[in-house]
Amino acid sequence: MVSPFDEVRESVRRYCEANHDFSFDPEQPIVRLHEPTFGADEISAALECMLTTQVTMGPKVKGFEREFAGHFGWSDGIMVNSGSSANLLALATLSNPAFADRLKRGDEVIVPALSWSTTVWPVVQMGLIPVMVDLDPATLNIDPAQIESAIGPRTRAVMIVPVYGNPCDMDAITDICERHGLILIEDCCEALGATYDQRPVGQFGAVGTFSFYYSHHMTTLEGGICVTNDPEFAELGRILRAHGWIRETENRQSWIDKYPDIDPRFLFVNTGFNLRATELQGAMGSVQLPKLAGFVETRRSNAAWFRRELDKFERVLEFQDETPKGHHSWFGFPIRIRPNADFTVADICTHLNRANIETRPIIAGNIARQPAMKTIEHRVYGDLPHADHVMRNGFAFGNHQAIDEAARAYIVDHISSFMAERQIGAA
Ligand SMILES: Cc1ncc(COP(=O)(O)O)c(C=O)c1O
């Protein structure tokens, strides 16, 4: 049977075929930090939502939540409008009066100094105190020994970030959390597709978060999700996601029975936000998810190749080591300039940028050094020398699904020509 959408799908397919070639062109070389992971199928799926006018959160979002949670092995997923919102929802749920043994104002949450702004801001927004600790220079991830030393009498939780998709040392971190009775929150917004000891990241603590921002491993344009194996956390999260409303809850009837005098269509049982994703995002997510493993595989094989080719400059460049037991999903390819090098990160980035190879800092460097921290009550554990080194001497170039053999060779050729200009030979 011909579907009413067939014509639209065909037009979209033709448009994308004619206009969407994101592969590397040696005639006009440019290597961006990101290229779109979505194509005609995702665009058609989103357009169908528009054409049916079913655009606000509904069955497509619910379907995607089930697929995502089921694919990786969580009981529940709560889709939201960004990874930042997923972090906010995670912290808000854990701090809500309805949550058993909740986080309370003034409690401390240990966070990595090398993290994104909205890893830390939700901690602050819930009246909690972030405690910044340094990283392990081999993996770039939060150093478990530093976590343990930073624990104080008010420490209640640890929030970790698998940096650029490199899983953290989960044996050590879960052991510390168990011994000290700390809640573990995993901000996996740049680590989709990564595993530790064969288990997906985000599965080791109370809650995990992921981002589906345009530049990430898979996308719903903007978007994110909180994942958990705790149905009570999930139910509360759904309420807080949407106004404190019961509308999207699994146990809607039990709420209605509890408050028979209030119109069940507009029953608010808690405070909340509006962090909802749209149907367009849910529909796109369902098309993207089956492609994820292929995207991650390309990133992994490119990263292995970059490392092999660039290891000869190991005297002046430092690389990120994959965590033992970890399966890294390589959000980008981060490099640090060693202190003994006679060039700066600006020198090498300028050289690459002139050749149309985009670069960026590693996450945002040491978040403790950002001006916003001056406005925030927080604690810094130690001097954070490794996070400072990343901030001053780190950069990354793109390592995504559209980087092919020609693109990766182009990058390495330009790093090699930079080294040759400075007469830095292979080690
Ligand atoms: C570690 C980390 N947490 C949170 C976020 C926020 O995700 P979003 O951009 O979807 O809000 C990012 C963004 O890249 C991130 O890298």
CB atoms within 10 A of CB 180: 13
Q: Measured in whole angstroms, how far is the alpha carbon of residue 305 from the centre of its chain? A: 23
Mean predicted confidence (pLDDT) in 291-295: 98
> At 261, is the pLDDT very low, low, confident or very high (cuts 50, 70, 90)?
very high
Q: Which of 87, 160, 189 to mutate to test the pocket of ligand 1 (most atoms within 8 A of CB)?
A: 189
pLDDT given for residue 4 in this prediction: 81
> At 1, is the pLDDT very low, low, confident or very high (cuts 50, 70, 90)?
confident
pLDDT given for residue 2 in this prediction: 77
Ligand 1 mean position to 55 CA, how many Å? Answer: 24
What is the rounded CA–CA span in Å between residue 162 and residue 164? Answer: 6
Active centre residues (catalytic)? 216
**Ligand 1 proximal residues by C-beta, below 6 Å:** 82-84, 87, 115-116, 118-119, 161, 187, 189-190, 211, 213, 224, 363
pLDDT given for residue 89 in this prediction: 98
Q: Which of 88, 114, 190 to mutate to test the pocket of ligand 1 (most atoms within 8 A of CB)?
A: 190
Ligand 1 mean position to 83 CA, how many Å? Answer: 5
Ligand 1 mean position to 225 CA, how many Å? Answer: 11
Q: Which of 213, 217, 275, 360 to mutate to test the pocket of ligand 1 (most atoms within 8 A of CB)?
A: 213
Residue with the smallest CA separation from ligand 1 atom 10 is 83
> What DSSP assignment string belongs to 205-230?
SSEEEEE--TTSSS-SSS-EEEEES-
DSSP state of 371: G
pLDDT given for residue 399 in this prediction: 96
Ligand 1 mean position to 250 CA, how many Å? Answer: 28
User: Which residues touch 185 (CB under 8 Å, ≥6 apart)?
Assistant: 90, 91, 94, 109, 157, 158, 159, 160, 205, 206, 207, 208, 209
What is the rounded CA–CA span in Å between residue 391 and residue 224? Answer: 26
Q: Which ligand 1 atom lies nearest to the CA of residue 363?
A: 16
| More confident of the two residues 2 and 97 | 97
Tens of pLDDT along 90-128?
Answer: 999 999 999 999 999 999 999 999 999 999 999 999 999
Residue with the smallest CA separation from ligand 1 atom 8 is 83
Residue with the smallest CA separation from ligand 1 atom 12 is 189
Q: Which ligand 1 atom lies nearest to the CA of residue 215?
A: 14
Mean predicted confidence (pLDDT) in 212-230: 98
Helix axes 405-421, 292-310, angle to 10 degrees: 30
Mean predicted confidence (pLDDT) in 79-88: 98
Residue with the smallest CA separation from ligand 1 atom 13 is 189
pTM (global) more than 0.95: yes
Confidence check: pLDDT of 270 > 90: yes
Please provide the average confidence, as pLDDT, over all residues in the chain. Answer: 97
| More confident of the two residues 317 and 424 | 317
Q: Which ligand 1 atom lies nearest to the CA of residue 119?
A: 3
Ligand 1 mean position to 80 CA, how many Å? Answer: 13
Ligand 1 mean position to 373 CA, how many Å? Answer: 18
To the nearest 5 percent, what fractions of the chain are helix, strand and coil? 45, 15, 40
Q: Where are any strands of DSSP class E within 138-260?
A: 155-160, 183-187, 195-196, 199-200, 207-211, 224-228
Confidence check: pLDDT of 363 > 90: yes
Q: Which ligand 1 atom lies nearest to the CA of residue 212?
A: 10
Tens of pLDDT along 4-59?
Answer: 899 999 999 999 999 999 999 999 999 999 999 999 999 999 999 999 999 999 99
Considering only CA atoms, give the Rg of the chain.
23
Ligand 1 mean position to 189 CA, how many Å? Answer: 5
Ligand 1 mean position to 159 CA, how many Å? Answer: 14
> At 426, is the pLDDT very low, low, confident or very high (cuts 50, 70, 90)?
confident
Q: Which CA distances in Å does 63 have to 51, 223, 229, 327?
A: 19, 15, 17, 27
Set out the domains of the chain in order of their start, with CATH numbers. 48-290 (3.40.640.10), 292-421 (3.90.1150.10)
Q: Which ligand 1 atom lies nearest to the CA of residue 223?
A: 10
Tens of pLDDT along 162-182?
Answer: 999 999 999 999 999 999 999
> At 193, is the pLDDT very low, low, confident or very high (cuts 50, 70, 90)?
very high
Q: Which ligand 1 atom lies nearest to the CA of residue 163?
A: 1
Residues comprising the chain, all counted: 427
Mean predicted confidence (pLDDT) in 229-237: 97
Residue with the smallest CA separation from ligand 1 atom 7 is 83
